[in-house]
Amino acid sequence: MGDALESQADEASYETIEHDWHEECGVFGVWRHPDAARLANYALYALQHRGQESAGIAVVDGPVLRHHRGMGLVSEAFTQADLAALTGHAAIGHVRYSTTGSSTLANAQPLVFAFRQGNLALAHNGNLVNAAQIRDQLDEEGSIFQSTSDTEVVAHLIARGGHRDFVENVRAGMKRIEGGYALVLLTNNCLVALRDPNGLRPLALGQLDGMHVVASETCAFDAIGASFVRDVEPGEMIVIDDHGLRAERFATAERKALCTFEYIYFARPDSDIDGMNVHLARKRLGRMLARTCPVEADVVTGVPDSSISAAIGFAEEAGIPYEIALVKNRYVGRTFIQPTQEQRREGVRLKLNAVRQVVEGKRVVIVDDSIVRGTTSARLIDLVRAAGATEAHMRISSPPVTHPCYYGIDTSDRTKLIAAHQSIAEIQKRIGADSLAYLTKEQMLEAFGMGDVKSHPFCNACFTGRYPTRLPAAPRALVGTSVAIRASRASRNGRE
């Protein structure tokens, strides 16, 4: 049995206007490349969708470790002079989306340390669910922290490993860590990549001109001309140095539980994760949605960008024309935020616009990947109605989101999840749609090609409340690359 937390994280008074989900980060690593920093920079551009608040690169050049971190997009974080100064033969890179209130340079990654075995840089995607407890213990023992990121806990545990060999210290430190993570570590002598025992967060291995690379998604390999080799397995550690590559277990692989939302929303459509192409997976979700939740309509459209593939699948299966009825302003930031309700409404009009000539006088089906708080969906319905749509139907290519995520997704606490306390009929009324329908968990898994929907390699905790790992109650919150958890009570839930 696992302990599922009722998150009581403080909510900010503002809302994001593109979407209520935020993936936590993207990571990249390369060993033995003559211009490692520029290669990492290109890869981070490809992973930009996984984080837009900060970016960083660390390189090693013999005994020296150099790094640069900056706030904003990759293009804002690095100048040509910054990259030119990052000379070295190996690099790791990171793009980050933080939780509310923690968008500071101190929490930008890679985090860099000097310890008795040399230099160490860390980049992390995910959330360490027991980091708060470990940090409290380390605090009591006299450890000094330079950030509020849960990632820093990993560095302290490695430094305390007690072994002469760095890899053995990594193995010892990770035995204490629970949660979902993809980690890349860089020292003067090696690059290490790890994926959590449940495979909650993605991580792939590639090759470029005989050199090894790792990344959160395969789209990063395409950007640098690398070839995909394989996915890093759950509980696997990849060690790359001048002697080559070796793969070994640092933990026993648990039941595989890749985050379903990697396919539904987070990953780029051109990425392949654990053998499945993201675009084709989303199209299958759309086709399933059309078969199970049909509606008479004139036009199908998707919410840019993550829902377009599902909308195309829906339109093809339903025999209804697909149209670009919603246009996104790509020059407004992903989390464009304004302090007042009126300014937020104005922000929506800046971010998205409906094409009147497409929707006027039409019955429109809007396909979206999820509904979290309901605010975004209501705005979409308002947009197409204001542009003259006679009917506005909403179709969701995932089940209702009823529980928060603790593995590296910035979701609201459960009280802010609309499906946790309202029925589908109530949500339909709330957002103003003429009809609303979701996929069930079983339909979603069938669309993913799972013949036996009871035995599958996914984490669906946000739909079911059944978490694949134990979630210890946290005495206080950590902010940074993790979801802030302020939990004072825990309920009992079985593992899925």
Domain boundary among 257, 286, 307: 257
Strand 391-396 versus strand 179-187 pairing type: unpaired
Question: In this structure, is residue 471 part of a structural domain?
Answer: no
At 257-298, the pLDDT tens digits run 999 999 999 999 999 999 999 999 999 999 999 999 999 999
Question: 165, 218, 161, 224: which is closest to 190 by C-alpha?
Answer: 165
Which CATH number covers residue 176? 3.60.20.10
pLDDT in tens, 79-108: 999 999 999 999 999 999 864 335 688 889
207 domain-assigned: yes
Return the pLDDT at 191.
98
Do 253 and 280 sit in the same domain of this protein?
no
Query: Which residues of the chain are under the pLDDT cut of 50?
Result: 1-19, 99-101, 334-339, 341, 474-496
- Is 25 a residue of the active site? yes
Q: Is residue 484 part of a domain?
A: no
**469 domain-assigned:** no
Q: Is residue 102 part of a domain?
A: yes
61 plus 202 within the same structural domain: yes
Domain count, the chain: 2
Q: Please count the other Cβ atoms lying within 10 Å of the Cβ belonging to residue 106.
A: 13
* Domain of 408, in residue numbers: 276-459
Token pair 């079911």 is found at 464
78 and 42 inside one domain: yes
CB-CB contact of 40 with 28 (8 Å):
yes
Same domain, 322 and 387: yes
Query: Cα(175)–Cα(420) distance, rounded to whole angstroms?
Result: 34
Residues 434, 323, single domain; the answer is yes
Q: In terms of DSSP bridges, do strands 236-241 and 191-195 run parallel, antiparallel, or are they unpaired?
A: antiparallel
Candidates 40, 330, 82, 85; CA nearest to 213 is 40
Report residue 9 CA to chain centroid gap.
19
- Token code pair at residue 41: 């920079």
Tens-place pLDDT, residues 435-452 = 999 999 999 999 999 877
Are 82 and 140 part of one and the same domain? yes
Please name the residue ranges forming H helices in 352-438: 356-359, 375-386, 418-421, 424-431
Domain boundary among 193, 225, 257: 257
Residue 53 falls within a domain, yes or no?
Answer: yes
Predicted local confidence at residue 401, as pLDDT: 95
Helices in 394-475 by DSSP H: which ranges?
A: 418-421, 424-431, 441-447, 461-464
Q: For tokens 């829906």, name the residue.
A: 314
Please state, in angstroms and rounded to a whole number, the distance separating the CA atoms of residues 391 and 389: 6
Identity (one letter) of the amino acid at 304? P
Is 251 inside any structural domain?
A: yes
Q: Do residues 209 and 311 both lie within one domain?
A: no
- DSSP class per residue in 107-123: G-SSEEEEETTEEEEEE
Same domain, 288 and 229: no
Q: Are residues 247 and 286 in the same domain?
A: no
CA–CA distance, 320 with 333 (Å, rounded to integer) = 32
Q: What are phi and psi of 435, to 5 degrees?
A: -155, 160
pLDDT at 431: 97
Same domain, 222 and 87: yes
Neighbour-count burial of 159, counting CB atoms closer than 10 A to its CB (0-12 exposed, 13-18 middle, 19+ buried): middle
Flag whether 495 is in a domain. Answer: no
H or E segment to which residue 239 belongs: strand 236-241
Indicate if 137 and 55 belong to the same structural domain: yes
203, 226, 257: which is the final residue of a domain?
257
pLDDT tens profile 139-156:
888 788 888 788 899 999
The owner of tokens 């290519």 is 397
Start-to-end CA distance of the chain, whole Å, equals: 9
Tokens matching residue 53: 């608040």
d(CA 276, CA 259): 13
CATH code of the domain covering residue 410: 3.40.50.2020
Query: Which residues contact residue 370 at a Cβ distance below 8 angstroms, ignoring those fewer than 6 apart?
Result: 20, 21, 261, 264, 265, 396, 397, 398, 401
For residue 323, how many C-alpha atoms fall within 13 Å in the half-sphere facing its CB?
A: 21
Active-site residue, selected from the candidate residues 25, 190, 219, 293: 25
pLDDT of residue 149: 81
Domain shared by 234 and 304, yes or no = no
